[in-house]
Amino acid sequence: MKSRLSGNEAVAYALQQLNPDVMGAFPITPSTEIPEYFAQYVADGQVNTEFVTVESEHSSMSVCIAAQAAGARSVCATSSCGLALMYELLYVAASCRLPITLACVNRALTGPININNDHSDSMGARDSGWIQIYAENNQEAYDNIIMAMPIGETPGVRLPVMSCMDGFITSHAVENIELLDSDVVQGFIGEYQPENYLLKKENPLAVGPYDVSAYYMEHKVMQAEAMKAAKNRILEVAADFEKISGRRYGLLEEYRMEDAELALVLIGSTAGTAKAAVDQLRAKGEKAGLVKIRVFRPFPGQELAKVLAGTKAVAIMDKSEGLAGGGGPLFAETRSALYDLPERPYLISIVYGLGGRDVKTDDIETVFSRLAHISSSSQIGPVYTHMGQRSKEETV
């Protein structure tokens, strides 16, 4: 079914089709429309969901953890400081192996306060043990959240899933979208059948122990194994999803990478802008390409290395400033992933778009022209720069 929806509407509509048992709901810009739209589905009796309008995101995630442990499917949505307030509990959810679904509408973290898009919120939670999948547009935001439960709930994985989209750029922009029938969605996710849960009569369950040194590390290793196993499961679910939707997804998306010598690696909605820039450069005969990271956790390091193996110069564009002193988090992961290549391309880190700073095709072309210069001169220049700084000479 064709429709026109904003990203938030699309995700809310998907959640209605998923019909979760429990939703934790707390307002924050820009994700707040998701619980608003969902509240209307509740008011109209279209879902079986207990809609728990909590007094904070901390309680929202606490409700989701408890409900999922009790044997229910639970979901919530948040952004920015809301995700930061959940931070402690993100680890609890992952370590209790509870496949909660969270819609993260990416927004800058406060410091200073800013309500616009970047990835600092979910990047801050990248080591919390959640699977992280990022959308480029509304269609992907809708599709990704429908794939979350089959990925997270599978016994070899049992991890929570964070389905991310860019605040305002994706969450508030209305785009054409292809929606699935609700029956198809229900058939795709199936019944939730956890092995053990709090409300199971036959076998009472205790969740969340004090875990002493003699056991704690074994439990962390089990989580690590689950995250490794998630990679394959994400691909299996994507293959099943293609059967019902005709849309194909991988861990990453290669755009005109077949013979690319100059490439970008980035996440989210900027991929749309970058694709347009790549097309313009290709029209001029430049061997330009793009790799869009769809799944950031588990990180597709080997796949990324394979894709970038033939390139000469690559810019890794981070929409979050990790303040590590040497480049953004995507840059660090990518550079590490390429270490084992026999011949490595030049790699530069460009931090861009913080706090909603716009990025245009011209900006992307400037990055490519720098890559072209690096490639032809074999002079890398500054490795770690910020795009479009008014206080500095153009160093992108």
Partner 1 sequence: MSKVYNLKREVEKPARLTGGHRLCAGCGAGVVVSGVLRALDQEDRAVVVNATSCLEVSTFMYPYTAYMDSYIHSAFENSAATCSGVEAAYKALQRRGQVEGTVKFITFAGDGGTYDIGFQSLSGAMERGHDMVYVCYDNEAYMNTGIQRSSSTPAFARTTTTPVGSAVKGKKQNKKDLTEILVAHNIPYVAQTAPIGNFKDLHTKSHKAIYTEGPCFLNILSPCPRGWDYPMEKLAQITKLAVDTCVWPLYEVEEGVWHLSYRPKKKLAVDEFLRPQGRFSHMFQKGNEWMIEEAQAYVDQKWERLLEHTGA
Q: Does 85 sit near partner 1 (CB under 8 A)?
A: no
At its nearest, how many Å lie between partner 1 and the CB of residue 142?
24
Size of the site for partner 1 (CB under 8 A): 43
Q: Does 135 sit near partner 1 (CB under 8 A)?
A: no
Pair 161, 148: CB distance under 8 Å: yes
Query: Could you say which of 3, 21, 361, 369 contacts partner 1 (CB under 8 A)?
Result: 21
Q: Which is nearer to partner 1, 113 or 199 (CB)?
A: 199
Query: Could you say which of 1, 206, 283, 323 contacts partner 1 (CB under 8 A)?
Result: 206
Q: Please name the residues in contact with 367: beta carbons below 8 A apart, sequence gap of 6 or more.
A: 264, 315, 317, 350, 387, 396
Q: What is the DSSP-derived secondary structure letter of residue 303?
A: H
Query: Could you say which of 5, 15, 25, 66 contacts partner 1 (CB under 8 A)?
Result: 66
d(C-alpha 185, C-alpha 227), whole Å = 25
Q: Does 69 sit near partner 1 (CB under 8 A)?
A: yes
At its nearest, how many Å lie between partner 1 and the CB of residue 194?
11
d(C-alpha 230, C-alpha 298), whole Å = 7
Q: What are 21's strand-pairing partners?
A: none
**What single-letter amino acid sits at 61?**
M
Query: How far does Cα 387 stand from its chain's mean position?
Result: 22
Where do we find the tokens 């009796």? 45
Q: Which is nearer to partner 1, 66 or 266 (CB)?
A: 66
Q: Does 65 sit near partner 1 (CB under 8 A)?
A: yes
Q: What is the DSSP-derived secondary structure letter of residue 264?
A: E
Q: Does 59 sit near partner 1 (CB under 8 A)?
A: yes
Query: Could you say which of 205, 235, 244, 305 contacts partner 1 (CB under 8 A)?
Result: 205
Q: Does 53 sit near partner 1 (CB under 8 A)?
A: yes
Q: Does 97 sit near partner 1 (CB under 8 A)?
A: no
Tokens found for residue 286: 């430049």
Q: Please name the residues in contact with 223: beta carbons below 8 A apart, sequence gap of 6 or more.
A: 94, 95, 97, 129, 159
User: Contact positions toward partner 1, by CB under 8 A?
Assistant: 21-22, 24, 48-50, 52-56, 58-59, 62-72, 74, 88-89, 92, 96, 198-201, 204-212, 215
